[in-house]
Amino acid sequence: MEELSLKVKQKRGTRGVREVAAEIGISHMTLLRVEAGKQPDLKTFGLICKWLKLDPSAVLGLQKTKNSPQSLAMPQAHFRAEKTMSPATAQHLAELILAINRASEHV
């Protein structure tokens, strides 16, 4: 989440936290936590990625390969906080996040 935090800080620049949070659709306290490097919930993560115009899979460390358009590498950044999570669990959660992201694009 460090990368996400840096990108948010860079895009916000000198603008006020409340102004930017309202633009994203989150509370100013949530924005401050994200800027401090805390992991956002799934909805907040999606809103921030949309505001930053970032592909959530790139932030999660997922890579595309020739054989699979959504081949999943270990989503290191998003799941780093949970040291006991198995690679299989992380992969399933990453797939879920991507499915939710795709579904939200059609709403």
50 within a domain of the structure (yes/no): no
Domain that holds residue 32: 1-41
To 10 degrees, what angle do helices 17-24 and 42-52 make? 100
**Which pLDDT band holds residue 63 (cuts at 50, 70, 90)?**
low
DSSP-based three-state secondary structure for 44: helix
Same domain? 36 vs 59: no
65 within a domain of the structure (yes/no): yes
Query: Which pLDDT belongs to residue 15?
Result: 96
Same domain? 32 vs 4: yes
Same domain? 34 vs 59: no
29 within a domain of the structure (yes/no): yes
49 within a domain of the structure (yes/no): no
48 within a domain of the structure (yes/no): no
Mean pLDDT calculated for residue range 83-98:
75
Global pTM exceeds 0.75: no
Spacing of C-alpha 76 from chain mean position: 12
Same domain? 90 vs 62: yes
Residue 49 neighbours by CB distance under 10 Å: 20
